[in-house]
Structure 1
Amino acid sequence: MPLVLPPVIINDSTLRDGEQAPGVAFTSPEKIAIACALDAAGVDEIEAGIPAMGGQEIGTLLAISEAVERAAVIAWCRMMPEDVDAALLSGVERVHLSVPVSDRQIRAKFGTGRKDVLDRIARVVPYALDRGLTVSVGGEDASRADSDFLKRVVVAVEAAGAHRFRYADTLGVLDPFSTYDAFRALCAETDLELEFHGHDDLGLATANTLASIRGGATHASVCVLGLGERAGNAALEEVVTALRETQGRMTHVSLSRLGPLAEMVADAARRPIHESKSIVGGSAFSHESGIHVSGLLRDAGTYEALDPAIFGRQHEIVLGKHSGGAAIRAMLRSLGLESDHHRVAAILDAVRARAIRCKRAVSVEELAEFHAATMAPHVGIFGGTHAEARV
């Protein structure tokens, strides 16, 4: 029998790293509502905030911990006892302790060297464990760290008692090939759970996340809509769908919940979802090209590798410059209207002319008007000859 791999665990950081996107600031009620929506969607872990920010953030974390029913709520902390103390006030049972691991960031942040990082791990992880918290550790800027030192860090994390190491591509410098190699190397060094946290500076965050899973990572860190600092993070909707489609790897996330969840986050972030955004964009399952629509009407699989129904959606035929006769006939039938070949050709001319002039899709109401014009005796659609195309 084929080996059945366990579901990939999804750690969503929309409320922490996502909110660090320039200009994004969620209110406490918005954070609570998003956390509940993430929980309802099946996200396993919610990185809900940074308690060291102060009383308001601590209060929000408390409220999220009380409201969420299933997902684990995690507080993000620096590798500092003071941050752990703040987390204890927030009602969480789990913390993520982050520490820089590249020489450049160690020097810039601490003014020290590698030994200091190992000492901090050995000191702060047990400090959190002794206070009843479950601990994961993140290696900030791991993608630019010395590979041998990174292995020492992972060994130190395991020895200190943490249950997971997060490999952070903080500046988004990796490609899928180097990501895969990095995780194969880490898997040879440790039995810890391994998580990947990817940024999208090169547009590779989702691809790198998939490569990390193939390389042995058990957990994926994501944000709804890829929200996050600079170019953002790996997008939740892309990662869970692509894992399923390209690797046959399941998650606990309900694909039908992705659309409403994305809309909620977009509204709170004041960042509209781009029409062509994969999975959740308005045009993700829309078709205009005549060749595509003709094939789609015969067999949806000709031009849809993803079934929109699994996302609670359906495909849409859009009328525009690139439409063909098959689309016109199909749309007319949906309105209960029939036309012969010559009228369909005339209507198609009118649709294309209107789309070019107005630079938008042509509505079904306009289509009905064009059809009505063809039915009027001695009157062309354009109020004259078809060739004039005055719309």
Structure 2
Amino acid sequence: MGNTLNKSVFIGDTTLRDGEQTAGVVFSAREKIAIARALDAMGVHELECGIPAMGKEEQAAIRSLVNLGLSARLITWNRAVISDIDASIACGIEAVDISLTVSDLMIRNKIDKSREWVKEQLKRSLGYCKDHGLYVSVGGEDASRADIGFLIELMGIAAEMGADRFRFCDTLGILDPFTMFEKVRLLTSAVPALEIEVHTHNDLGMATANAVAGVKAGATYVSTTVNGLGERAGNAALEEVVMALKVACGVDLGIDTRRLSSVSRMVGKASNRDVPAWKAVVGEKVFSHESGLHADGVLKNPSNYEGFRPEEVGLKRHIVAGKHSGTNGIVESYRQIGIPLSREEANLLIARVRSTAQKLKRPLEKSELLSLHETLGCRGLVAA
């Protein structure tokens, strides 16, 4: 893939809309406010905050977010119909996504219409939005399976009528990063006047990779959710996309990444979905080191085995004592609990640590390390 990162890139987070569409997830109005404030404080550029057409309760929650006066732009999801747009306007919203079904498969099997009907729906709804002074993202549902010529035609209409961007949706999460790159690059070249957003799903485990590929191809907006919440296998995870662009692509989005782990846990609690300890970027154990060579390398210089510092995402490094620990790792594990060891003492303990970890099938906890230390008759100072 070539690299065309010559434009600013923005995050359009949809935790409060697509994230809440995760089967079984419901955010209270108070939780929505807390999540919105946290994302805004972090510097996320845009929040897709709900679907006004769902009814009065949803509308009240959206109005409460509008009244917060956040720096992030608030945008709502709408079908490309006038009644949905009116519901958004009534909430005080100034930016909307109007969603169109764009693949022939869905046009035929879902809505039982034609391409001509879709084009007229776009013209009617987009014209209405622009008559009301709205910022408009035209959402292409199932764009990844749509005819590329038809997408170009729709984007051309949208650009001529003043749309602000086009949302390229990999609705079923079926693309690979190379195909994503090719499609987005073709669309950006064909309709340069219209910015593109990539909205990727994780059904094949490639949502983050596809999001990054879309950005490298010229997309300027990326749709994410905290912890990768979303329909089925979820969406591209905010924390993964932000750090992938920063570390792998050298693109700093201006987001305070030190807040990523705390926001992740907030959303995990609100969604009743615990964040796995091994979750990429924000899992509590992703900066834990046990293997002798790795622990030794990290202790000498963290950059030996860490692509970025744990502090960058609000986490801490841990050296754990287990089956694969080496001498330096044992010394550090005991130092962490307040016991200084000599190398000789560590060499005496290492076999017992490994044997105990083998029996327990896990790393050793503080009490177990203390117990092993006492069996040697050592006398270290233990921190309170």
* TM surpasses 0.5: yes
Report the CA distance shift for 1:264/1:341 in structure 2 as closer, same or farther (over 3 A).
closer
Shift of 1:334: 4.0
Q: Report the counterpart of residue 266 of structure 1 in structure 2.
A: 268
Q: Report the counterpart of residue 188 of structure 1 in structure 2.
A: 189
Report the CA distance shift for 1:266/1:338 in structure 2 as closer, same or farther (over 3 A).
closer
Q: Report the counterpart of residue 207 of structure 1 in structure 2.
A: 209
Contact 2:211 2:222 in 1 (8 A): yes
Report the CA distance shift for 1:330/1:27 in structure 2 as closer, same or farther (over 3 A).
same
Deviation string, structure 1 residues 112-163 (Cα, Å, up to 9, x no partner): 1111111111111111221232211010000000111111111111122211
Report the CA distance shift for 1:160/1:354 in structure 2 as closer, same or farther (over 3 A).
same
Shift of 1:6: 4.1
Q: CA RMSD in A?
A: 1.7
State how 1:55-66 maps to structure 2 within 5 Å: 55-66=56-67
Q: Report the counterpart of residue 382 of structure 2 in structure 1.
A: none
Q: Which moved more, 1:316-325 or 1:304-313?
A: 304-313
Report the CA distance shift for 1:235/1:334 in structure 2 as closer, same or farther (over 3 A).
closer
Structure-1 separation of matches of 2:368 and 2:241: 39
Contact 2:51 2:78 in 1 (8 A): yes
Deviation string, structure 1 residues 291-345 (Cα, Å, up to 9, x no partner): 1011111111111111112223331101111111111112333445344555423
Structure-1 separation of matches of 2:339 and 2:287: 25
Q: Report the counterpart of residue 148 of structure 1 in structure 2.
A: 149
Q: Report the counterpart of residue 380 of structure 1 in structure 2.
A: none
Report the CA distance shift for 1:30/1:333 in structure 2 as closer, same or farther (over 3 A).
closer
Q: Report the counterpart of residue 8 of structure 2 in structure 1.
A: 7
Structure-2 separation of matches of 1:73 and 1:86: 14
Q: Report the counterpart of residue 300 of structure 2 in structure 1.
A: 298
Structure-2 separation of matches of 1:108 and 1:80: 20
Query: Is 1:351–2:365 an aligned residue pair?
Result: no
Count residues with an aligned counterpart.
375
Shift of 1:29: 1.0
Gaps of 5+ in 2: 380-384
Q: Report the counterpart of residue 284 of structure 2 in structure 1.
A: 282
Q: Report the counterpart of residue 375 of structure 1 in structure 2.
A: 377
Structure-1 separation of matches of 2:133 and 2:159: 17
SS state of the match for residue 78, structure 2?
strand
Report the CA distance shift for 1:355/1:18 in structure 2 as closer, same or farther (over 3 A).
same
Shift of 1:376: 6.5
Contact 2:320 2:333 in 1 (8 A): no
Shift of 1:68: 4.2
Structure-1 separation of matches of 2:299 and 2:170: 43
State how 1:235-254 maps to structure 2 within 5 Å: 235-254=237-256
Q: Report the counterpart of residue 86 of structure 2 in structure 1.
A: 85
State how 1:159-238 maps to structure 2 within 5 Å: 159-190=160-191, 191-238=193-240
What is the TM-score with the length of structure 2 in the denominator? 0.94
SS state of the match for residue 243, structure 1?
helix
Structure-2 separation of matches of 1:22 and 1:50: 16
Gaps of 5+ in 1: 378-391
- State, as a whole percentage, how many aligned pairs show the same letter: 43
Structure-1 separation of matches of 2:81 and 2:338: 68
Structure-2 separation of matches of 1:270 and 1:239: 23
SS state of the match for residue 181, structure 1?
helix
SS state of the match for residue 25, structure 2?
coil
